[in-house]
Amino acid sequence: MKSFASDNYSGIHPEILEAIQQANIQHEISYGDDSYTLIAQNNFEKEFGKVTVLYAFNGTGANVISLKCCTLPFQSVICSEFAHIHVDECGAPTQSIGCTLLPVSTPDGKLTPELVEPLLSRTGNVHHTQPKVISISQSTELGTIYSIDELKTLCRFAHSNNMYVHLDGARISNAVAALGVSLKEATVDCGIDIMSFGGTKNGLMIGEAVLIFNDKLVENAPYFQKQSAQLFSKNRFIAAQFTALLTNHLWQRMATHANSMAQLLANEMKAIPGVTITRKVQANAVFAIIPTPAIEPLQKQFPFYVWDEQTHELRWMCSFDTTEEEIIRFATTLRNLI
């Protein structure tokens, strides 16, 4: 099957698979006290500077750990109406943290101080949950990207209002590759307090990393990780994958490829009469509207999701292993259907 459904439909990059194989040699201490986890820690520090790293099996788990570190049960998390934590995690953050999510309408999936400010009017009022975190996704669920200036402005605003900034980085590699800066410049240097660093959507078999930059959030984090059932006894197999991801810029090579495939896909598709690309293509996602009768037959050959059942807007995702040839076949199939 060739698909444009999600970047987690793809398999494992050979360099990642090789790293798993290499870690499968002898016995190692369990629960992250092994040599592979130590090497991964050093690699993360080379990229980000001082950082506490914990691991999770999936993005939902990484978000739950991160938000637990930042909140008490009477506090709230401000996020976009499209945020994965709000829409796609079956209520995991609210269920396991006990705090409230405050979703904000946003045309492009991004939050700004102007959009967040109205939610702060009841700060200090005991009858209302107290906003404590601004949670953003980079790249966003709509495939858009916060610029460095936008990130800095939002972090400054959050901190001046006694809030933390959490970054859901399931696709951080795609965003940073597109911004053309270093991982550090796009995250901790902007003022991000805590983030997930996505692996599964960028060539890993399994695993996400929680990166904690703000020392105030570190103390309870390992307990939250364990209590959220995210502490892997054989952590070396997750850590080894991250070492491979951070070696020779593999994260960037894969993400740059996926992003450029999305550009090609958008260009090929918008040349087809009746096809509209509906959002800016900044990372590895393309959103489109096509003639409705073509949707199902196209999906049968190349699976993808309908993003919005009301408007029939579609989402096409590119991965590290998407090829030009697949894109041309996908576009030709749609052209023929239309």
> What is the contact surface with ligand PLP in residues (CB under 6 A)?
58-60, 84, 137, 141, 168, 170, 200
Which CB sits closer to ligand PLP, 141 or 193?
141
Q: In angstroms, what is the minimal distance from the CB of 60 to ligand PLP?
A: 3
- Which residue minimizes CB distance to ligand PLP? 59
Which CB sits closer to ligand PLP, 164 or 334?
164
How many Cβ atoms sit within 10 Å of the Cβ of residue 260? 16
Q: In angstroms, what is the minimal distance from the CB of 61 to ligand PLP?
A: 7
Q: In angstroms, what is the minimal distance from the CB of 211 to ligand PLP?
A: 15
Which CB sits closer to ligand PLP, 13 or 84?
84
Which CB sits closer to ligand PLP, 58 or 225?
58
Q: In angstroms, what is the minimal distance from the CB of 236 to ligand PLP?
A: 20
Q: In angstroms, what is the minimal distance from the CB of 10 to ligand PLP?
A: 13
Q: In angstroms, what is the minimal distance from the CB of 127 to ligand PLP?
A: 32
